[in-house]
Structure 1
C-alpha cells in the first residue's frame, strides 16, 4: 500500500463497512489466527537483551492496553514494557494496595516524602516521610504544576476514581475536531464502555446508603442553587460496594482505597483489557522496564533501548531490542517527554515540529466548602465518586462531587472541577540539564478558578457557607497546583496523522492521552480508550 493510501483518513470508513463489519474485522482477524496460536508465542518477560518483537508497546495504560488486546486478537505477538511494578503481590498487611488514609512505602513513586493532593487538614500538614520505592502514584513536579500519574501495570486505571464519563455529544467537536462524531458515539464509545466494565449506581441505593451522604449533600446544594446534578457511571462494581455496605464483602471503596490503588471492587485494566490480552497467549508484559531510546534501524525496524530498574529506581540492566512497530502509550507526559527527547537528541530527527505541543491539565482545580452543622457529610464516605455538577455551557465547569474519606465527620464538601481552560503548555528539551521541561505557569490556572467560582460562589451565597482554607496550605482556597488529567503533547492530526501514526516514520504510533489536546470537558479515560479503539482498528485494517 502506498503512502498516500496509508495516510488516507476518510470519514466515511465506518459508513462504508457498517457497524457490524467494523466490529467484526477485529474478530475475524482473531479467528484467522486461532489455528496457529498454539505454535506462536511472544518473547517472554522480562524481555531479554537482543530480542526481536513484531510490536513493542511502551506503557500499559488505557491506550496501550487497547492496542495490545486488539493486535493480539488480530494474530500479532505483542510485548509491553512498563516502568512501574506488576502490583500482583500482597504486602505485609496481606493487601496489595495501601489505604488513602495510611500511605506507606507502596504509595509513592521514588519519593522520600508523600505529596498528597490535600496537603493539610484542620491546620496541620499531613505529609510524612516514606522510604524511597517504586510506589504506585507518581507526583511528578514541573514548573508551575504537579502531575499525578499511575505507575504500574494498568497505568492510570490503578489510581483514578473510576469516573467513566462519556462527554456530551454536542461537546465532542471541541475536543477532537478531526474525528468523526458518529463513529465515536455509534461504535467506539459503546465498545470502550463495554470493555471497561462501566456500570451505574442504583439511584435508590444512592439515596439511602450512609456512604453517599456526602454526595447527597452536594446534590442538594447544587440543585438549590439551580445547577444540574448528574449521576456519573464508574468502573467500580457497585454490586460489590453494596455488599461492602451490608458487611458481606471486604471493604475497599468503603475503606478509603482509591489514591494508592483499590484492592477489591474496582475494574482496573488488570481485570479488563489486560486480562483479555494476556489470555490470548500473544501478549507478554515486562514490568520495571523503562524505555530510554527509540531509533530507526535497518529493514524498517526500530532499535529500542530499555533500562531494567529495581525498587529504588536504580538501573540493573540495559537492554537493546528491535521491533517492527512501536506504540507510544506511556501516558500524555511519558509519551511527550520521550518523543521530545528523541527528536531533540537526533534519535528520531524527522518527527515534526508539533511534538511536545498542545499539553493541558483538563482544567483541573480543587476546592472545599465548610458546611453548616445541620449538613453533615458523614464519617463513612465511599472513595468512588458518582455524581457531578454540570455548569459547562453557562460557566465552563463540570465539578465532581468528590469524597473526603477521613473517617471522621468533617462537615465539608469537596470538589474536583474540570474546566474550560484554554491555556496550553509545551514540552521542550533542556540540553544543559539533560531533561524535558514543561513551561506551564501557575497563573494559567486562573481561568479554571474563575470557572469553578461560577458554581461555588453561588452555592456559598445560597447556603450561607464559606470556602475551606485548610486543605492546600495555610489560608489557601484553591487547589491550583496539580492535575490528575494530563492530556496532549503529541496531538492527533498534528504531531500524528488522524489515526495516531507519527509523521516522518512508518511503524511508529501514539495511542494514548498525548493525542488529545488538553481537555475533554469530563474525566478523560473513556475518551482515551474509545479513541484508541478507533485508531487501532484503522491501523490493523490498513497497516498490517
Structure 2
C-alpha cells in the first residue's frame, strides 16, 4: 500500500469548469491538498476578446497560437461548441441557469437509484446561491417582446418565461465591493447589456467560476495550473495515480511533468473526460474502466437555428441584453431560447445557412438550397452577409428531453487516436429538429413585423449536411447502478477505480432539455458533500464487486 507521504497531492482535478471548480472549493474546505490542471489559459476581464473576430483570443486552437475560450469539436454525428480556460465553460456560456423538469430525474438510466429530484433539491439551492442566479432576467426590450409574440403565435404563450441568469446587474458600469460572499469575493461591475457574454465578459458582471468557486478555492489554498494538458492518468499498483501533463499547444519540448495523487477528479468536460477514459482504458493505464464508457453520450437533442434580417432594423436593438433572456416550450419536450452576440461579434454567423428541410437525402437538400439562393440572389447575399450579423437577427437555441444518444469510441487515424461516434440507445440522435424550424419561422415573422424589414428563418451549414450543432455535450461516463450500465456509481466514483471520480457533464445520464450548467454544479455539490473530511472515516458504502 502506498503511503500518504508518497503523494505530491491528495487530489488532482483535471479541468476547471463547473464540476472541477465545485470540487476544488469543497475539497480544499475539507482539508485536502488540491491541485487543478486546466488546459486553457487564465483570463482577467480585460484579457477577453472585444469581439469574436479576434480569433487568437476567442477560438481555442493552441497549436495555431489561438488560446481563446471557444472550443469546436467535430464528430460524424454532431458538431460541438465547448469552453476553454480557467473557469471552463463558464467563460463563454450564456450565463443561463435553468433547473430541468421531472422527466430528466425520471430517466430510466438512474431513476431507480434514488429520488434524484428530491435528493438534489438542496444542492440546486446551493448552486444557485454560489452562482448568483437572478430568477428572472429583469429587462424588457424588442427581443423579449418578439419571443413572447412568437410563443403566442405558436399557441404556447403560457410557457413563455424570463430566463434565470448568473449576472450581477447592479448599476450599469459601476464597480462595487463583492456583493455575494461577505467581501471574500472579487469586486464586481454592473452589467452594461453589451451582449458579448459568450465572447467573454470584459465588464466583470458575469458570474463566471473565477468570480465564485475558483476565487474562493484559491483563497483557501487550492493550486490552479493553467495551460497544462493532462495526457495520462495511470493507476498505481499500491493505490493512487500518477498524472502526467504537458504544456498546452507545444509541438516541440512539451515540458512533460508527472506527479502522484491519492485521488483524481476528472472534470475536463465531456469531450476531454471521455478522451482520457477511452485512451487510458485502451493503453492499460486504467484497466478496470467499464466497457460502457462512451455509451449514452447526449447532445441535449439540440439544434441552433434562427432568424436574420436583410438589414439592421432601426427600431430594434437585437444585440442589446445578456446572451439569453427568455424561453418557451414549443411542445412538452422541446425548449426554445433566444440567443445573441453583441455588436461586432459576427464571426459565428459563418455557420448560418439557408434553411432547408431535414429528413430528405443530402442531394435533395443541396438542390433546394441552390434553388432558393438563385430565386432571390440579392436577398440571399444580404441575409448571408456577416456585416452587422449580430445586430440583424436572433439565434434560436432548441433543446429536448428526448431519450436519444450517441455511442463514442476510440478510432486511430493518421497515427493518432481520437473519438468517433455512432448512433446509440433510444431514438436516433436527430440531424435536424422540425420544432426548431417552426420556432425560427415564428421568430422571423415577428422580427419582420416589429422591424419592418425582410427577415428569414435560417439554419446552419452543418445541419445542411445532416450534422446538428450542440453547445451542451453530455454523458458517456454516466451515473449507473452497475459497471454494466455506466461508468460511475451514484457517488461519481469510477467503477473498478473508486479513487477516480467523474464530476462534470460526462456523468449526466439524460438529456435535461435545458442549459445543463446548474445541474452539473448541483451534481458536483452533491458528490462533494459525501467526501469525508481529511482524517475522518468515509461513510460512503464500498463499491460492489463484479468488474
The TM tier, using the shorter chain, reads 0.7 to 0.9
2-structure distance, mates of 1:360, 1:153 = 24
Answer yes or no: is the 8 Å Cα contact 2:410–2:419 preserved in 1: yes
Structure 1 alignment gaps of length 5 or more: 1-42, 44-49, 113-130
Q: Does 1:136 align with 2:69?
A: yes
Are residues 431 and 133 of structure 1, via their aligned partners in 2, closer, same or farther at CA, if it must alter by over 3 Å? same
2-structure distance, mates of 1:289, 1:319 = 9
Q: Does 1:301 align with 2:301?
A: no
Are residues 404 and 318 of structure 1, via their aligned partners in 2, closer, same or farther at CA, if it must alter by over 3 Å? closer
1-structure distance, mates of 2:68, 2:173 = 30
What is the correspondence of 1:282-361 to structure 2 with a 5 Å cutoff?
Answer: 283-309=222-248, 315-361=253-299
Identify the match of residue 537 of structure 1 among 529, 541, 547. 529
2-structure distance, mates of 1:58, 1:101 = 27
User: Which residue in the other structure is 1:3 paired with?
Assistant: none
2-structure distance, mates of 1:532, 1:503 = 18
How high is the TM-score relative to the length of structure 2? 0.75
1-structure distance, mates of 2:77, 2:392 = 31
Q: Does 1:188 align with 2:107?
A: no
2-structure distance, mates of 1:375, 1:440 = 46
Structure 2 alignment gaps of length 5 or more: 176-187, 345-387, 481-485, 533-537, 542-547
Q: Compute the displacement of 1:315 (Å).
A: 4.8
2-structure distance, mates of 1:87, 1:497 = 34
Are residues 350 and 446 of structure 1, via their aligned partners in 2, closer, same or farther at CA, if it must alter by over 3 Å? closer
Q: Does 1:106 align with 2:57?
A: yes
How high is the TM-score relative to the length of structure 1? 0.75
2-structure distance, mates of 1:374, 1:108 = 29
Are residues 146 and 240 of structure 1, via their aligned partners in 2, closer, same or farther at CA, if it must alter by over 3 Å? farther
Identify the match of residue 420 of structure 1 among 401, 404, 407. 401
User: Which residue in the other structure is 1:279 paired with?
Assistant: 219
2-structure distance, mates of 1:197, 1:250 = 14
Q: Does 1:224 align with 2:161?
A: no
1-structure distance, mates of 2:500, 2:52 = 42
Identify the match of residue 505 of structure 2 among 499, 504, 513. 513
Are residues 454 and 133 of structure 1, via their aligned partners in 2, closer, same or farther at CA, if it must alter by over 3 Å? closer
Identify the match of residue 390 of structure 1 among 323, 329, 332. 329
Q: Compute the displacement of 1:514 (Å).
A: 0.4
Are residues 253 and 180 of structure 1, via their aligned partners in 2, closer, same or farther at CA, if it must alter by over 3 Å? farther
Q: Compute the displacement of 1:202 (Å).
A: 6.0
2-structure distance, mates of 1:314, 1:198 = 44
User: Which residue in the other structure is 1:46 paired with?
Assistant: none
Answer yes or no: is the 8 Å Cα contact 2:146–2:446 preserved in 1: no
Q: Does 1:61 align with 2:17?
A: yes
- Per-residue CA deviation, residues 23-47 of structure 1 (Å, 9 max, x unaligned), is xxxxxxxxxxxxxxxxxxxx9xxxx
Q: Compute the displacement of 1:349 (Å).
A: 1.3
How large is the RMSD of aligned CA atoms in angstroms? Answer: 3.4
- Per-residue CA deviation, residues 56-87 of structure 1 (Å, 9 max, x unaligned), is 11111111111111111111111111111111
User: Which residue in the other structure is 1:16 paired with?
Assistant: none
Q: Compute the displacement of 1:321 (Å).
A: 0.9
Are residues 74 and 402 of structure 1, via their aligned partners in 2, closer, same or farther at CA, if it must alter by over 3 Å? same
Equivalenced residue count is 458
Q: Compute the displacement of 1:182 (Å).
A: 4.7
Are residues 80 and 213 of structure 1, via their aligned partners in 2, closer, same or farther at CA, if it must alter by over 3 Å? same
User: Which residue in the other structure is 2:380 paired with?
Assistant: none
Q: Higher strand share goes to which structure?
A: 2
User: Which residue in the other structure is 1:153 paired with?
Assistant: 86
Q: Compute the displacement of 1:226 (Å).
A: 1.9
Answer yes or no: is the 8 Å Cα contact 2:168–2:189 preserved in 1: no
Answer yes or no: is the 8 Å Cα contact 1:377–1:413 preserved in 2: no
Q: Compute the displacement of 1:134 (Å).
A: 2.2
What is the correspondence of 1:83-122 to structure 2 with a 5 Å cutoff?
Answer: 83-88=39-44, 95-110=46-61
